[in-house]
């Protein structure tokens, strides 16, 4: 598929941020003014309806980097936080979990939190047990137990599980999701084989978010294509997919031009920032907070009545200290959007899982009996 540098939503806004139209020059100039508090633009009164903090690859030893970036994100007052994989909440130094927990500590019970799992969040084809327990019960494993030789770690700690009142249940969409339950007392194939699918779809304020399993598969391709070609009342769809390989991501949408509303695919995994546009869809890989020598970043998706804007906050590679620059607008899209409404948590069902019959398109996959 040919690479196209011209944005069809905002003519003249290309990959390097060059602005050729007067309208876009004016809009981005306004949006680029230093933002304070919960998204107010000083002196102009422009405020988004709501916003989403976006982070990824938080497996870092740099306390200063993660503290500075997440503190800056929190100062912008996000209504929801999305992590695009590789949480490392179980690392023995604990400061990653504490930094993320502080980020979502904005109201009673914490703000809504979603995870598109990364490869380091999986074990033997299933979401790691400590993440399933954290997501559905708010109970976190803070220490692995073994001695770690890396910089900044605590050593020879005994594994302990503790409740965190800031993150009791991450979001309503995983409460009864089979792959996120704590009692998956089953045996999974090795990573890359048949696995329990963590993926799901949720909608907020006119945006449909499609949370994917971490890597490309033909089976996931069919799942995505079936979802995005069905009638839907959302204005824009955003795909959350940890692995960043654009050549594979393109396969999800090939041949479907004009038949879906996916405008953005957000990825992580590579620990480097990348921005490409192919056809109707922009593919953005966040550098995350894993490797300071490559630069680190977080992002904020701001939702306005008739457009979306994605901003990037950066600690550049080679920077002395952990000073954050930004916001830098990196993507915009027209649409029709509404206020954020946080859904109530559903009543938890008593999970009971049965194994597939071994025939049909998905043998060996475990389902909730109600399905």
Contact in structure between 314 and 324 (CB atoms under 8 Å): yes
What does pTM read for this prediction?
0.79
Distance CA 50, CA 287 (A): 24
Map out the domains of the chain with their CATH numbers.
Answer: 48-368 (3.60.21.10)
109 — pLDDT class (breaks 50, 70, 90): low
- The reported pLDDT for the residue numbered 20 is 39
What CA–CA distances, in Å, run from 168 to 133, 139, 207, 367?
10, 8, 25, 25
Average pLDDT in the chain:
77
48 — pLDDT class (breaks 50, 70, 90): very high
- The reported pLDDT for the residue numbered 321 is 80
Distance CA 98, CA 193 (A): 33
Mean pLDDT highest for which of 8-22, 179-193, 294-308? 294-308
Using one digit for the tens of pLDDT, what is the confidence trace for 317-344? 888 788 999 999 999 999 999 999 999 9
Average pLDDT over residues 136-140: 79
Using one digit for the tens of pLDDT, what is the confidence trace for 158-212? 445 555 555 678 999 999 898 998 876 544 433 333 347 999 999 999 999 999 9
Given a cut of 80, whether residue 349 has pLDDT beyond it is no
Using one digit for the tens of pLDDT, what is the confidence trace for 223-261? 999 999 999 999 999 999 999 999 999 999 999 999 999
38-42, long-range: CB < 8 A, 24+ apart: 38/76, 38/77, 39/76, 39/77, 39/302
- Between 150 and 125, the more confident residue is 125
Distance CA 198, CA 213 (A): 6
Structural tokens at position 337: 């959007």
- The reported pLDDT for the residue numbered 157 is 43
């Amino acid at each position: 598929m040919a690479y196209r540098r011209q944005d069809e939503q905002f003519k003249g806004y290309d990959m390097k941020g060059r602005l050729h139209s007067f309208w876009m020059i004016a809009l981005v100039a306004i949006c680029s003014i230093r933002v304070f508090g919960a998204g107010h633009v000083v002196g102009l009164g422009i405020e988004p309806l709501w916003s989403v903090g976006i982070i990824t690859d938080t497996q870092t030893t740099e306390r200063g980097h993660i503290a500075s970036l997440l503190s800056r994100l929190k100062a912008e007052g996000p209504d929801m936080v999305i992590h695009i994989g590789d949480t490392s909440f179980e690392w023995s130094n604990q400061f990653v979990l504490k930094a993320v927990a502080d980020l979502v500590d904005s109201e009673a019970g914490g703000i809504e939190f979603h995870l598109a799992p990364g490869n380091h969040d999986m074990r033997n084809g299933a979401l790691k047990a400590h993440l399933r327990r954290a997501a559905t019960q708010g109970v976190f494993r803070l220490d692995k137990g073994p001695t770690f030789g890396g910089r900044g770690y605590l050593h020879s700690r005994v594994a302990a599980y503790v409740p965190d009142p800031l993150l009791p249940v991450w979001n309503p969409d995983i409460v009864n999701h089979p792959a996120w339950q704590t009692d998956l007392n089953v045996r999974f194939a090795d990573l890359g084989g048949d696995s329990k699918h963590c993926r799901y779809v949720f909608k907020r304020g006119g945006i449909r978010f499609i949370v994917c399993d971490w890597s490309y598969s033909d089976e996931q391709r069919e799942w995505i294509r079936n979802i995005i070609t069905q009638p839907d009342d959302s204005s824009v769809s955003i795909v959350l997919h940890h692995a960043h390989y654009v050549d594979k991501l393109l396969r999800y949408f090939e041949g479907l031009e004009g038949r879906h509303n996916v405008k953005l695919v957000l990825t992580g995994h590579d620990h480097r920032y990348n921005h490409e546009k192919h056809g109707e869809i922009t593919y953005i890989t966040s550098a995350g907070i894993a490797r300071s020598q490559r630069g680190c970043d977080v992002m904020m998706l701001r939702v306005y009545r008739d457009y979306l804007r994605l901003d990037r906050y950066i600690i550049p590679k080679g920077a002395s200290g952990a000073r954050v620059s930004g916001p830098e607008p990196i993507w915009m899209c027209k649409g029709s959007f509404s206020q954020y409404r946080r859904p109530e948590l559903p009543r938890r069902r008593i999970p009971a899982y049965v194994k597939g019959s071994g025939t049909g398109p998905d043998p060996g996959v475990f389902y909730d009996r109600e399905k």
